[in-house]
Structure 1
Amino acid sequence: MIWEQLLSLKRFGDTHKRLRKEQDETRLGFEVDYDRIVFSKEFRSLQDKTQVIPMSKTDFVHTRLTHSLEVSVVARSLGRKVGQQILYKYPYLKEIHGYEVNDFGAIVATAALAHDIGNPPFGHSGEKAIGEFFKSGNGNRFKNNLTAKQFQDLCTFEGNANGFKILTESRAGRDGGLRLSYATLGAFIKYPKESLPMKPTKHICDKKFGVFQSEINNFKELTEELGLVSRTTSNDLSYCRHPLAYLVEAADDICYTIIDFEDGINLGLIQEEYALEYLINLVRDSINKQKYAVLKTVQDRVSYLRALAINTLINECAELFMKHEPSILEGELPKSLLDYSKYLAQITDIINISVSNIYQSKEVVNKELAGYKVLNGLLDIYTASVENKMKANSTSYDNLVFKSLPEHVQFKDDDFYFNLMSVCSYISKLSDTNAILAYRRLSGDIIL
């Protein structure tokens, strides 16, 4: 892979190249990408989607929106640090093509801003709830109407693939979705493969999948433009990552490791004295003991250590990226950047505590229970109405169900996959609150 191709400014629908040296410096194409994400309805809905702690009324616990913004800030710093070194190593990128340090920051920041845009309500349990509806629930009845890959898309419903769908899916008046630059879309896709075969190797690219069958044509066009290297000799689609996807992943890993831990401390789910020791172990080389000693509140102490920890990991990940950059361009780096960190033991300790004290806490378990009930209920109702419509057996209730959906949710008379994906895509865009309200409304619990 080569950087000048990986940094493509092209967008879906373009008939000519967009050259970096011809860009308006006051409104660069990569910065336009960021703006389009911020103003999208799908991004705004993240303000009412669970990060870890459900429906918290405290002002310091993260939603998907605040998490995404923080990941974006970390990603921007990572992108700029790496961009500076890439331009030093490959000066022609600046001298001939006109690329600047901030271009790398903008690409990585935008991809990071959108990294959770495809996640359903109720956190990762929402993905599991949708998948299990088709794998072992009432949705299993559609298996014979779908290809193996189509059915797998539904059985392992993946927020990353759904995010690519949201960003690129055309609808009336919006050809090419948000029409982001190909460089940004490439950095967004952490798992550039189809849903099958599942985890064929231990390479990080195969951990999950990043594209539904419904977006295969867009995916092929993207990989060709960016020059991503194929990782398979079969007809299955699997590619090496865009190099900047490693930075997006690192920014997310840094934030959920450190900031989820911070939330757990602030909520009292993790004892302060016990927890701060782990953070101090991560920042021993940079902590100002005098400054730390005068901090009086838990929040101030945690905030100080969190900032140091994030800065420490940003600097290290930038160094790790450049150390492994030749392997990354060859598509041969098999692990995430943090897996090579000298602080891996400390990071692992922090994650293990978060798993036991936060992710398995009663509040989170109760959220997951509610999410399963709500999403299964919505899927039951919508898929039954779709099936009746396709069999020309629609009831009056089915007709009302369809009228309750937004106009942009479309269905086809003879395409089960398209229709089931339309249902799942619609549900995935709902906020936690709106998913609950829709379930209650369709169940006759409330009349609005």
Structure 2
Amino acid sequence: MRWEELLSAKRCRGGQTRGRNVKSSDLRSEFEKDYHRIIGSASFRRLQDKTQVFPLDKSDFIRTRLTHSLEVSSFAKSLGQNIGENILVYKKDSEFTPQMKEDICNILQCAGLIHDIGNPPFGHFGEDVIREWFERKLPLMTYHGKLMEQVMSRQMVEDLYHFEGNAQAFRLVTKLHFLVDERGMNLTYALLSTIVKYPVPSTGIDLDSGDIKTRKMGYYLADEKMFREIEKETGTKGCRHPLTFILEAADDIAYKTADIEDAFVKGYLSYHTLLEELKELQMMYHQETNTFRPADKLEELYFRGKEMHVANPEEYAVKNWIIRVQGFVINCATYGFTSNYDAIMKGEYKYDLFHGTYCERLMQLLGDLAYREVFTSEPIYRMEVTESVMLSDLLDKFMTAIIKYDDPLQKLNSMDLRIVSFISDNYKRAYHCQAEGKTEAEKLYLRILLVTDYICGMTDSYAMRLYQEMRGMFLSGTE
């Protein structure tokens, strides 16, 4: 892969292919324009009311999808600066220029903002609920007297069984964010290629391959044509875009450190539990901890806080420790990319940027600790049961109505008409653009995606409110 192609500034609708628009008084690069398109979008604003870890939390400290995305954006840009400078200083690529370094930073900053923009309400648990709903319901659903699994193609069915927030993000920014026409936000191809973490369809998922790119699907069949065009323009040829590795590292750094901080603030995780876990890790891998000893650093910060007579030395230690860890893992990710540069550019690197290092073990511990202390706690489980009921009920009602929508052989009843009317006109317009000239099976598949599109666009509060309103509507309809 070559940076000249990888940094393509081409857009589906117009725009420059590369570099700057020198004929215009607008001195922004195409990638800087992407940034302004994103932050001005309603889809980005909705992230302020979407769950990161704690749903519908009233605290102004706890992170939402919006604050998480801003953190990922910041880390991604910092990594881009480090890595771009390393490529230049050590002359790893004779074609790489200072302008390319600047473009990389701008692309990564934008990619961090939209990497989670397609996620449904209630965090990653919302994704699980949607996948499990299809696993339960789709094998029983019929269309014109036939099982839907027999009506739709294998890839259409697999798309639903492997519903994925990453694929939904790609779909949202390329198709659903309807401004002028059906091309979504009309972002640059370099940026779009960067956010595709898994450049394979649902039928290409292979958990046994050992290659990180085949763990999940990266795009729906409905969006494959767009993906192929971007793949051709950027020259990735079935491989991950190199910047995707950096984006993923930034995401890992952001959420694994933030989850620990949020868990501490919410009272799920104590200073002493964190310290004991880190001491155990440090003892197990004592020969690899010369550069950064996490337990020692946490303890050092605690005693510093006591010496300074801060009100809460444990809080002082944990919050400052998070900052130290972030600096350490940024350096690790920089090394991971630059030391594997040739393999990454050839599309042969199969792992994340922390692979095989002590940093990888530290990151695994932080993720495991958050899972044990937070994600499997009774309060979180209680919230998730409620969330599952809400999303499943919405899926039940909208799918029942949408299957009949735009079908000349079926008629919407009065309740179906009301339910379909709730779906955004933009989403319905996008559906009709995509359904034009398609077969009945393809239209059915697109209508099902219309429901997941609509639900994924909901904020947590809106999903809860709509569920309550529709529950009342249906109860009143049975009286």
Q: Same fold (TM over 0.5)?
A: yes
Describe the shift of the 1:20–1:321 C-alpha distance in structure 2 as closer, same or farther (beyond 3 A): farther
Q: Is the 8 A contact 1:21 1:99 kept in 2?
A: no
TM-superposition CA deviations, 1:283-319 (whole Å, max 9, x none): 4389575755535424332221111100111111111
Q: How does 1:278-427 map to 2 (within 5 A)?
A: 278=277, 283-284=292-293, 287=297, 291-293=304-306, 294=308, 295-297=310-312, 298-389=314-405, 390=407, 391-410=409-428, 411=431, 414=440, 415-427=443-455
* Alpha-carbon distance in structure 2 between the residues aligned to 1:219 and 1:419: 21
**Equivalent position to 2:96, from 93, 98, 104:** 93
- 1:267 corresponds in structure 2 to 266
Give, in angstroms, the shift of residue 211 of structure 1: 0.3
Q: How does 1:182-197 map to 2 (within 5 A)?
A: 182-197=189-204
Amino acid paired to 2:420: F
How far the C-alpha of 1:442 sits from its partner, in A, is 1.9
Question: Superposed, which structure 2 residues align to 1:94-243 within 5 Å?
Answer: 94=97, 99-137=99-137, 140-141=140-141, 142-169=148-175, 171=178, 173-199=180-206, 201-229=209-237, 239-243=238-242
Residue aligned with 1:338, SS? coil
Amino acid corresponding to residue 398 of structure 1 in structure 2:
D
Per-residue Cα deviation, 1:185-226 (whole angstroms, up to 9, x for no partner): 111111011011332612000111110011111000000000
Contact between 1:134 and 1:155, CA under 8 Å: does it hold in 2? yes
Provide, for residues 29-72 of structure 1, a one-character-per-residue CA deviation record: whole Å limited to 9, x for no partner. Answer: 21221222212111111111111122211222111111111111
C-alpha distance in 2 between matches for 1:421 and 1:346 = 39
* Other structure's SS at 1:10 match: coil
Match for 2:468 among 405, 426, 440? 440
Over 3 Å counting, the alpha-carbon distance change for 1:437 and 1:56 in structure 2 is same
Kindly provide the CA deviation profile for residues 109-140 of structure 1, in whole angstroms up to 9, marking residues without a partner as x.
21111111011011111111111222212674
Matched position secondary structure for 2:203? coil
- Contact kept in structure 2, 1:265 and 1:275, CA below 8 Å: no
Amino acid at match of 1:212: Y
C-alpha offsets along residues 240-289 of structure 1, whole Å, 9 cap, x if unaligned?
10001000000111111111011111111112122145568684389575
Relative to 1, partners in 2 of residues 1:26 and 1:363: Cα closer, same or farther, differing over 3 Å? farther
CA distance in 2, matches of 1:299, 1:28: 42
- The verdict on how the C-alpha distance between 1:64 and 1:212 changes in structure 2, with shifts beyond 3 A counting, is same
User: How much identity, in percent, do the aligned residues show?
Assistant: 31
Q: Which residue of 1 aligns with 2:37?
A: 36
| Counterpart Cα distance in 2 of 1:260 and 1:421 | 31
Question: Structure 1 counterpart of 2:419, which letter?
Answer: V
Q: Does the 8 Å CA contact 2:9/2:16 hold for their aligned counterparts? A: no
Contact 1:320 1:340 in 2 (8 A): no
Aligned residue number for residue 27 of structure 1: 28
Which whole-Å CA distance do the structure 2 matches of 1:337 and 1:25 have between them?
36
- Asked if the contact 2:84–2:104 (Cα under 8 Å) also holds between the matched residues in 1, the reply is yes
User: Cα gap change, 1:24/1:431 in structure 2, threshold over 3 Å: closer, same or farther?
Assistant: same
Letter in 1 for 2:41: S
Aligned-partner residue type, residue 293 of structure 2: R
* CA distance, structure 1, for counterparts of residue 465 and residue 418 of structure 2: 16
Deviations 1:375-418 (A, max 9, x none): 11111111111223324221111111122222112255841011
Deviation at 1:15, TM superposition (A): 7.5
Query: Could you say which structure has the larger radius of gyration?
Result: 2
User: Which range moved further: 138-147 or 80-89?
Assistant: 138-147
Instruction: Check 1:345–1:325 CA distance in 2 against 1; reply closer, same or farther (3 A cut).
Output: same
Q: Give the residue type in structure 2 aligned to 1:406.
A: S
Q: Is contact 1:214–1:418 with CA below 8 Å preserved after alignment?
A: yes
**Contact 2:11–2:17, Cα closer than 8 Å, also in 1:** no
8 Å Cα contact 2:19-2:30 kept in structure 1 = no
Cα deviation for residue 350 of structure 1 reads: 2.1
Q: Quote how far apart the aligned CAs of 1:322 are.
A: 0.5
CA contact (8 A) 2:179 2:185 kept: no
Contact persistence 2:259–2:370 (CA under 8 A)? yes
Provide the rounded CA distance (Å) in 2 between the counterparts of 1:416 and 1:213.
Answer: 13
User: 2: distance between equivalents of 1:120 and 1:435?
Assistant: 10
Give the corresponding residue for 2:456: 428
How far the C-alpha of 1:91 sits from its partner, in A, is: 5.0
Given that 2:10 and 2:18 are in contact with CA atoms closer than 8 Å, whether structure 1 keeps it comes out as yes
Q: Summarize the Cα distance change of 1:153–1:245 in structure 2 as closer, same or farther, 3 Å threshold.
A: same
Preserved contact between residue 268 and residue 374 of structure 2 (Cα < 8 Å): yes
SS at match of 1:174: coil
Aligned length: 435
